């Protein structure tokens, strides 16, 4: 079993500032995590992920920086391509652009966008984004986007950021196999990975892709404590906050003491996951730092 990369997803809300973000990113890098990811939502109090990552880019050296996931079709793809290319340049090619179609209908309604067509829109959006990354002459005519423009920059394939696609549906998995460098569903149970990855392999083969060159990601809630009981108590509190049954939350989360968390991560890795983005979105301040330090010291050596 090959070792998988371990990264974190954290939440940066409107109370964050440059010092708190860069200091936290430094702590995560020092803890030997592989990456730091931010999610995206128009209507929550989270800072825009691309702005947060551009802030962090110059204050880290080895940490991969990414979105998990960015709702691309809420924005213009050509403008987004320049923003992402800029971050990729600032962080010396450490950016991973995770994209999804979104699920908050009200955000699409507020922007006058057709929620039911978001998957179809994303496929065109990706074409424009890819052409924008390359620079030079961009010419595209589609149902949703029409572009004719000359761009005064050029990226080659090695300079472009890695592109991941999120989503738990068969359609999302197919788009990932066809268009991207990786697929990262959210809150997938171990059983779901075991049942789904063989279908992904078929899709990769049909698109002439090699599994060993493709990222299969996990995005799982992490709740770590010195004892299983403490971790379970916190999981029950999070479930209550989410208005969710505790057993449902436990089915897709990584909850427990360091030994059981390491074992759980290894089970996912054995199923085929090669990049874990563990979510600490419900932890803040000193509590978040304790999670990072315990993960680094007591879990990472075993995974």
Q: Tens digit of pLDDT per residue, the chain (303 long)?
A: 678 999 999 999 888 899 999 999 999 999 999 999 999 999 999 999 999 999 999 999 999 999 999 999 999 999 999 999 999 999 999 999 999 999 999 999 999 999 999 999 999 999 999 999 988 999 999 999 999 999 998 777 778 899 999 999 999 999 999 999 999 999 999 999 999 999 999 999 999 999 999 999 999 999 999 999 999 999 999 999 999 999 999 999 999 999 999 999 999 999 999 999 999 999 999 999 999 999 999 999 999
Cβ 8 vs Cβ 280: under 8 Å:
yes
Query: Cα separation of 289 and 295, whole Å?
Result: 10
Structure tokens at 146: 């029409």
Query: Cα separation of 103 and 218, whole Å?
Result: 18
Name the DSSP class of 46: B
The DSSP string of 122-145 is HHHHHHHHHHHHHEEEEEEE-SS-
What's the predicted TM-score (pTM) here?
0.95
- 3-state class (DSSP) for residue 10: coil
Go through the domains of the chain in sequence order and give each one's CATH number: 5-302 (3.20.20.30)
Cβ 193 vs Cβ 271: under 8 Å:
yes
């Amino acid at each position: 079993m090959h070792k998988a990369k371990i990264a974190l997803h954290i939440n940066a809300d409107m109370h964050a500032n440059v010092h708190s973000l860069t200091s936290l990113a430094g702590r995560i890098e020092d803890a030997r995590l592989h990456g730091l990811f931010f999610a995206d939502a128009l209507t929550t109090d989270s800072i825009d992920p691309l702005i947060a990552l551009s802030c962090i880019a110059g204050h880290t050296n080895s940490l991969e920086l990414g979105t998990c996931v960015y709702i691309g079709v809420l924005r213009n793809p050509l403008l987004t391509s320049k923003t992402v290319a800029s971050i990729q340049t600032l962080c010396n090619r450490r950016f991973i652009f995770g994209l999804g179609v979104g699920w908050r209908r009200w955000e699409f309604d507020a922007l006058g966008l057709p929620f039911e067509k978001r998957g179809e829109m994303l496929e065109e959006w990706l074409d424009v984004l890819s052409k924008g990354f390359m620079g030079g002459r961009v010419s595209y005519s589609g149902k949703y986007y029409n572009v004719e423009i000359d761009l005064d920059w050029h990226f080659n394939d090695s300079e472009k950021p890695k592109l991941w696609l999120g989503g738990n549906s068969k359609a999302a998995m197919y788009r990932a196999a066809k268009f991207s460098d990786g697929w990262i569903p959210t809150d997938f149970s171990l059983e779901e990975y075991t049942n789904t990855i063989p279908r992904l392999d078929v899709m990769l083969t049909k698109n002439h892709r090699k599994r060993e060159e493709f990222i299969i990601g996990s995005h799982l809630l992490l709740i770590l404590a010195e004892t299983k009981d403490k971790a379970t108590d916190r999981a029950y509190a999070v479930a209550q906050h989410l208005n969710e049954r505790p057993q449902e939350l436990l089915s897709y989360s990584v909850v427990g003491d360091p030994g059981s968390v390491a074992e759980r991560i290894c089970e996912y890795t054995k199923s085929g996951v090669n990049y874990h983005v563990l979510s600490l979105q419900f932890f803040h301040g000193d509590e978040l730092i304790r999670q990072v330090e315990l993960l680094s010291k007591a879990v990472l050596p075993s995974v």
